Amino acid sequence: MTGMGKVFIVIGVIFIIIGLIWGIFGKLPGDISFRKGNVSFHFPIMTSIIVSIILTVIFYVIGKFR
């Protein structure tokens, strides 16, 4: 397998993991939601913080092995 093929596989696996995490942590306490009439606003601040922490740990571990 070429180097580019491996890169695409790794990127695909990362997207699958992010999708699974996003599905599990869809709406957490701390996410901001407003609804008024026909307008709704949702800002997933806790979800963003948790995803950021998880990605930081993953990239830290990958960096240690490089």
Task: Show me where the domains of the chain are located.
Answer: 3-65
47 C-beta neighbours (distance < 10 Å), count: 19
Summarize pLDDT for 14-27 with one digit per residue, the tens. Answer: 888 877 777 766 67
Predicted TM-score (pTM) of the model is 0.54
User: How many residues appear in the chain?
Assistant: 66
CB 41 within 8 A of CB 25: no
Express each pLDDT in 9-62 by its tens digit: 888 888 888 777 777 666 777 788 889 999 988 888 887 888 789 889 888 988
CB 50 within 8 A of CB 28: yes
